[in-house]
Structure 1
Amino acid sequence: MSEAVTSAPATPVAQARPAVAVVLSFAAGATDAFAFLQLGGIFTANMTGNLILVGLFQRPGYTTTLIGATVAVIVFALVAYLGFRLTLSRVGPSRGARLLLITATVVQVAVLAGYALTDRPLERALLCVFIALSSVAMACQTVIGRTIEARSGVTTTFVTGTLTSLMQNLANGKRDFRTVRTLSIVALVGGALSGALAVATDPLLGAALPLVPSLVALALLATRR
């Protein structure tokens, strides 16, 4: 008689990863909307956009744009490197994802609190501080998405790679990960729209909105359902 094989229960991260990727895509859209509209026209999730901004020397206020975009790219790259190192260490990807998401949430709280307490318009130095903090949060969330949902090719802070993977599979007649890729793209746009509406209502709401999906993602990672 063959021995019965008992499969190990799926971990909370394994069960929650598609939903987490979609929720973090919404967070990226909301964060970029707030950053672009309130932090000097800089993206803190989409680094491709910042690299383009560096080349637009005819843009009004180019010096501020150059400094802000440079801060965002450097901070994002450094934190992403450290985040990937964390997930590859003895901590492991599951615990690493939780630690990174907690870090991102705490940093977003700091952005909200600081933005609420400072006078606006922001001086250049404070602008760079908020850009750096927001970039830390987005880098952490990007590492989480690439770590726990690597197979689907979903990138939570930019959609070019996700859109390309979706179109490639459709052209090949494959259905793998079609739902999570499509929802991730829709969530990013929805997050940007929601962020813009929040900023139009009250800039402070724009700073607070990214906290909601972060807390939802934390809840998803903490439960098996």
Structure 2
Amino acid sequence: MPAVLRDARDTLVPDMTGPHGPLPPVLLVLTVLTGTVDAFSFLLLGHVFVANMTGNVVLLGFSLAGAPGFSTPASAAALVAFAAGALTGGFTVHRARAHRGRQLQHALLVETAFVTAALTVALVSGRPYTGGARFALIVLLGLGLGVQNAMVRVLAVPDLTTTVLTRTLTATIADSRLAKGPGGHAGRRVLSAGAMLAGAFLGALALLKGHPALPLLIAVALLAAVTTAATLFARSDALWTRPPAAR
């Protein structure tokens, strides 16, 4: 079996006794969620990202320069909310620092609360999302994705950040055999990019063909699934549950 396919298989169906246990497929699901939520925010909330802050900083620069179709307050609100979410997520996971399964579970519960609140706002307010409803959605989703990113950073699974793909794509090409590199984790990196693409496609399709709140409903469903799994993982005492520095 080619190394890329073997690495992809090991990411989707990981060795539960390995260093990261079940975390890789969980983070792939959260990458799909990221694409879905950013499709909702960018297409319905006025060209703003709530998960990918690199893109959001660029959009803020556009708006500050006076480019039409971009909002300085919206981009700034997303950045502040994301930062507050990262702070909340950091506090949440560091309280369970001795067990990665509990770190995952606790952070997902907080993220699910924020994204579910955003879904409620979307259903109650109705499209178009303007004024207070728009900013409430930006803030709630920014908080939730900030929590997610703080959790992912602490879990520290290589090449599965759930948001930033620039370094992942660069590593895929620069480390490839074609570039005379080691070629490590190519399958995992391709899956990460594919999961983001799939999430963005799913979110956009849900908006175009279904209800405007459907992407958030999908996000809540994905969170419910991984949170249920994380509740089981929190009971494990396998090697992967220990932080790398504690092994």
Q: TM-score range by the shorter chain?
A: 0.7 to 0.9
**Deviating more after overlay: 20-29 vs 50-59:** 50-59
Deviation at 1:179, TM superposition (A): 2.2
Note if contact 2:39-2:203 (Cα within 8 Å) is conserved in structure 1: yes
Q: What whole-Å deviation, never above 9, does each CA across 1:106-129 have from its counterpart, x for those lacking one?
A: 211111111111143233222111
Name the structure, 1 or 2, with higher relative contact order (CA <8 Å, separation 6+): 1
Structure 2 residue aligned with 1:184, among 176, 180, 192?
192
Moved more, 100-109 or 78-87: 78-87
Does the C-alpha gap of structure 1 residues 212 and 68 become closer, same or farther in structure 2, counting only changes over 3 Å?
same
| Matching residue within 132, 136, 139 for 1:132 | 139
For residue 38 of structure 2, what is the amino acid of its counterpart? D
Equivalences for 1:188-207 in 2 at 5 Å? 188-201=196-209, 202-207=211-216
Change (3 A) 1:119 1:212: closer
Is 2:31–2:199's contact at 8 Å kept on the other side of the alignment?
yes
Aligned to 1:220: 229
Q: CA 1:151–1:121 in structure 2 vs 1: closer, same or farther (change >3 Å)?
A: closer
Rounded Cα–Cα distance in structure 1 between residues aligned with 2:55 and 2:153? 19
2:54 is matched with which residue?
Answer: 48
Bigger mean CA offset, 122-131 vs 171-180: 171-180
Runs of 4 or more consecutive aligned structure 1 residues displaced over 4 Å after TM superposition: none
- What SS does the corresponding residue of 2:153 show, helix, strand or coil? helix
Could you tell which deviates more after superposition, 195-204 or 215-224?
215-224
Structure 2 gap ranges (5+)? 1-15, 237-247
* Aligned match for 1:74, one of 52, 74, 80: 80
The change in CA–CA distance for 1:61 and 1:151 in structure 2 (over 3 A counts) is closer
Cα displacement (A) at 1:61: 4.8
Give the paired residue count: 213
**In structure 2, do the counterparts of structure 1 residues 90 and 137 end up closer, same or farther at CA, with 3 Å as the change threshold?**
closer
Q: What CA deviation, in whole Å up to 9, does each residue of 1:82-131 have, x standing for no partner?
A: 32243234554431221111111121111111111114323322211110
What pairs up with 1:45-124 in 2 under 5 angstroms? 45-56=51-62, 57-62=65-70, 65-92=71-98, 93-124=100-131
Mapped to 1, the partners of 2:212 and 2:163 lie a distance apart of 21
Q: TM-score, normalised by structure 1?
A: 0.84
Identical residues among aligned pairs (%): 29
Equivalent position of 2:32 in the other structure: 26
Q: How many Å apart are 1:75 and its aligned residue? A: 1.3
**What amino acid sits opposite 2:39 in the alignment?**
A
Give CA deviations for 1:141-191 in whole Å, capped at 9, x if unaligned.
22232222x241321022112222323332453243322221111000000
Change (3 A) 1:166 1:135: same
| RMSD across aligned positions (CA) | 2.4
TM-score normalised over the length of structure 2: 0.77
